[in-house]
Structure 1
Amino acid sequence: MSSRGQQVIPKTADQLRKAELAQIHIAKVQLALDDDAYRAILMQVTGKTSSKELTWQGRKALLDHFKKIGFKVKAKSAGRSAPKVTPDRQALIGKIEAQLAEAGRPWVYADAMAKRICKVDRIDWCKPDQLMKIVAALSYDAKRNGRAEA
């Protein structure tokens, strides 16, 4: 889903792969799996140690397993929307929104980053200095994955 609530339909096999990998990692966050538990499930279901190694069949099997144990795929419009913005945070939230859109990731991904990096449950509750850390992490992710930095 894009940041405006419109569904983004992958057009190439690479885009589909990236969307499925993103969904796998969203499921990991939603199911509150630590890295050890996630890797144990990954090995049990697919026989692989990293989701990057999975074929489309492996990604499907893993997502099916996550759905069996409680993962719910949420539509953008029914799920999380952009955080409320105050003037001093507006530029940072805009930057994060652009980075998420470029990566094809939903706002819940930013919430997960806020929880991991800033130790707060939602990006809405981050202070400007914490938002800068999330912008930096998303920039690093874009560079690592060969995307343009938004």
Structure 2
Amino acid sequence: MSRRNMDLSKIHIAKKDLGLDDEIYRSLLFRVAGVRSAKDLNPRTTGKVLAEFERLGWKPSAAKPGRKKPAAAPDRAKLVGKIEAFLAEAKRSWAYADGMAMRMFNVERVEWCDPGQLVKLVSALTYDAKRHGRPVR
């Protein structure tokens, strides 16, 4: 999801949470950003609208925590464990490893990688750890 779409979603969630009817919502958009519709907002005015909602008492919900460790077949469990250790040491989420799998192998999730691909992910994370001075075991 793009940053723009995420911000527009936040605006509509804030509208709902604050219980604004359409007329009041559109007048707020016009007062703060000079537009009548959220689709006409640019990044700067989007931030102004979100700040106004927060000023009015809206509190954005906390970000969802990362996903759980992927379930791996027995032949891959050790490699997934190593990947998990590297991610924890670097304070990164599973989304980071999923992004690596996507860039390296065009596979969306780590758990869908075959053992050979997992070995390559471990190698890449080992290289990253050495480059950033983190311990490699």
- 2:13 alignment counterpart: none
1:75 aligns with 2:29: no
> What residue ranges of structure 1 are gaps of 5+ in the alignment?
1-29, 33-63
How many residues align? The count is: 84
Query: Deviation of residue 122 (structure 1)?
Result: 0.7
- Asked whether 1:146 is paired with 2:133, we answer yes
Residues 95 and 75 (structure 1 numbering): CA distance in 2 closer, same or farther, change over 3 Å? Answer: same
Give the aligned partner of residue 105 of structure 1: 92
1:87-125 deviations in Å (ceiling 9; x for gaps): 100110000000000000011111000000111011111
Query: TM-score scaled by structure 2?
Result: 0.54
1:45-56 pair list within 5 angstroms: none
Q: Would the alpha carbon gap of residues 110 and 31 (structure 1) be closer, same or farther in structure 2, given more than 3 Å must change?
A: farther
What one-letter code is carried by the residue in structure 2 that aligns with 1:104? K
* The structure with more radius of gyration: 2
Q: Counterpart in 1 of 2:7?
A: none
- Distance in 2, matches of 1:133 and 1:74, equals 31
- Aligned partner of 2:121 in structure 1 is 134
**Gaps spanning 5+ residues in structure 2: where?**
4-42, 48-61
- Residue identity in the other structure for 1:133: K
TM-score (norm 1): 0.50
Quick one: percent identity of the two aligned structures?
Answer: 51
Secondary structure class of the residue paired with 2:64: coil
Match of 1:119 in 2: 106
Partners of 1:123 and 1:142 lie apart in 2 by 19
The match for 2:81 is: 94
